[in-house]
Structure 1
């Protein structure tokens, strides 16, 4: 991965906002989580707290503010505090974003296993 100045600045801005590395990679066009973490380390950015240690910095996506274009992957357990939906832009007509589609759907090679 060759990091452009724009991509590096976007990574830095999102990292400092507390956006998870996987989400940063998704927003940067499908860069892996590990590539994002490696670049953040080389930039000297401090380690992010785990989701359990901090409140999300983004709006919590609930059924009240979930739109047709947002990923509908549930996060947490219904009825418990903090339950929400992913909310990242979904892929085409599928109900989920790229990351959650990869977890929800199996390829033909996976079915044979």
Structure 2
């Protein structure tokens, strides 16, 4: 289906009259409700919220307030406008991230980082990254690693957890 100038003008007219996207699609024929909604968004036609009765849309003149009148009532609260499919958007409170379970071992001590750069690493240094790689302060642990492991004893305990612990954490 092509959007001809005549069909676009008819879409604009029907949209301004307050017809729903489904009603407009039915009148245009050969086009889906979603196609109408997409075209309305591309044309940047004004969002309308809920359609109100024609009588309520007309502005009524306000009566002149007497000079010695009581204070006016607070203005009505503004009604939030919805744009697109945000009317159905559900906002959830973020769930707190699960805290990683770290096992303590009396024989393992948290190392003091040597703060090595990438070019300073060797086969016998811990390659545990610290910080954001895009920052100047980024570095690697750099303490001694054993048995050909890429990590020191402390970081190896963090990186390699037994299967039973991982299943329990889920």
Normalising by the residue count of structure 1, what TM-score does the alignment of the two structures yield?
0.46
Q: Which has the higher helix share?
A: 1
Q: Which has the higher contact order (CA 8 A, sep 6+)?
A: 1
TM-score (ref. length: structure 2): 0.32
Select the structure of larger CA radius of gyration: 2
